[in-house]
Structure 1
Amino acid sequence: MVSQETIRFAAVGDIHCKKESAGSLRNFFSQAAESADALLLCGDLTDYGLPEEAKILADELSAARIPIVAVLGNHDYESGQPDQVRRILADAGVRVLDGEPCEIHGVGIAGAKGFCGGFGRGSLGPWGEVAIKHFVNEVIQEALKLEAALAKLRTQQRIALLHYSPVAATVQGEPVEIFPFLGSSRLEDPLLRYPVNAVLHGHAHRGTPEGKTANGIPVYNVAKPLLQRTWTDRPPFRIIEIPKSDTPVM
């Protein structure tokens, strides 16, 4: 399907695959594969982070015979077995990124889970109790993972893949009280230093589909529950078209 002009990516997050999901997602992934050159998954791939759920998801994803790139989400950590979830999906051919880059059809992809902490003046600072400092350090480390992946890309066209949002705009619609738990402005900082064509994330089920970073990069919230409510007449994945380029960035 790769055209001479653009590369088409189907993006979705928050699939929340359960043990009962067997057989229910194959058609969805098949539709995505028919519409795009690659599939991008923005975390919360499983519901409780169980290996059994990951195995079911891997089987459902077999219907999508296109490259698949993913990051994990907070739900994928719930049972303390994220490495097993990652391994099961990797064994099924999914590239699961955690601070690494990859290249699909000449487009560079930098992926990290991200973390929470708030936006702008509402960002939590590393001050006071040790627990607070550990909490803030978590998002700092995730931002560093994203930056390291972006810095390694040598492609002209690039995508940033996250679970948590780097901007407040795409979590608008959620209760304001939980904004600090939906993402962090610290994830935006690497995107200001290493611009990309688009940023994709999930997590905010009641958020807003589109926003922008401070330097004008489009940010898309592709949480499946949000897209289901937004697009009632079409499958709930977003198509991102990236211009094709064979020129590497030196």
Structure 2
Amino acid sequence: MSENTDTITVAAIGDLHVTDTNHNRYRDLFAEMSEKADVVALAGDLTNFGKISEAEILAEDLRACTVPMVGVLGNHDYEAGEADEVIKILSQAGLTILDEQACVVKGVGFAGVKGFLGGFGRGELGAFGEDAVKVFVDESRNEARKLENALRSLRTDRAVAVLHYAPIPETVEGEPLEIFPFLGSSRLANAIDRFDNVKAVVHGHAHRGAYSGRTPRGVPVFNVAQFVVEPAFGRPYALLEI
């Protein structure tokens, strides 16, 4: 276990949706977050269409960040079919993409995945019926398995899970009830709740959701989509003490 018990501050933001016209839009924001936090966590939908040009624009702004950065991709980052190149560009700018790896910053572990949809609780879609449904559910299960494996690899006494899709329904409340199954999956919460060292979860995706909730085991979950955080705090990122 890590012997480092110093509290660290995490600045978390999701759903930047950088477009081809967003040159320097977030540069000052990343510099500001660097002054206020020890780590910056990005909760997906970093680009608007997953284009290489959008990733390059974001990468320039990321270089204003002077503290470690971790993050995951979101569904928008896959739209153009260039996710591997997006990851390469953002990694070269200093962002650690967590998907297949976990990392430790100042004694705190960070693990994350994009996640997937599928629904919550009794409303979660099961692998029954048509092959297409089974493929859909298998993708949801695979994302949860990746998260569980990444969390298991950490040996720190504190960990943070970074997601794009929501692990609980409470932080998507405010969105139309009809689209809840497309906003996340309880399978992610099930993976998180297997580990006592997870102290917080951040996600995005639900632009009209609620800021906070808890997993069934009681782990705090925060929807850090900038469209949720800005009205609550007057700034587009959340500050979390871990």
TM range (shorter): over 0.9
Shift of 1:118: 0.2
Q: How does 1:93-132 map to 2 (within 5 A)?
A: 93-132=94-133
Which deviations, in whole Å up to 9, do the C-alpha atoms of 1:92-122 show, x marking residues without a partner? 1110111321111110011111000000011
| SS in structure 1 of the partner of residue 193 of structure 2 | helix
Shift of 1:84: 0.4
Which deviations, in whole Å up to 9, do the C-alpha atoms of 1:72-107 show, x marking residues without a partner? 000000001100000001111110111321111110
CA distance in 2, matches of 1:28, 1:201: 19
Q: Kindly tell me the number of residue pairs found equivalent between the two proteins.
A: 238
Q: How does 1:1-250 map to 2 (within 5 A)?
A: 5-195=6-196, 196-231=198-233, 234-242=234-242
8 Å CA contact retained: 2:15, 2:226? yes
% of aligned pairs identical? 51
TM-score of the two chains, using structure 1 as the length reference: 0.93
CA distance in 2, matches of 1:27, 1:17: 15
| SS in structure 2 of the partner of residue 194 of structure 1 | coil
The AA in structure 2 aligned to 1:110 is A
CA distance in 1, matches of 2:5, 2:120: 39
The AA in structure 2 aligned to 1:154 is R
| SS in structure 2 of the partner of residue 47 of structure 1 | coil
8 Å CA contact retained: 1:28, 1:235? no
Unaligned runs of 5+ in 2: none
CA distance in 2, matches of 1:99, 1:136: 20
8 Å CA contact retained: 1:100, 1:112? no
Unaligned runs of 5+ in 1: 243-250
TM-score of the two chains, using structure 2 as the length reference: 0.96
8 Å CA contact retained: 1:100, 1:148? no
CA distance in 1, matches of 2:212, 2:149: 25
8 Å CA contact retained: 1:39, 1:66? yes
The AA in structure 2 aligned to 1:210 is S
8 Å CA contact retained: 2:62, 2:94? no
CA distance in 2, matches of 1:161, 1:228: 19
Aligned CA RMSD, in angstroms, stands at 1.2
Shift of 1:64: 1.1
8 Å CA contact retained: 2:102, 2:154? yes
CA distance in 2, matches of 1:124, 1:99: 25
Which deviations, in whole Å up to 9, do the C-alpha atoms of 1:219-247 show, x marking residues without a partner? 0000011112222xx321101111xxxxx
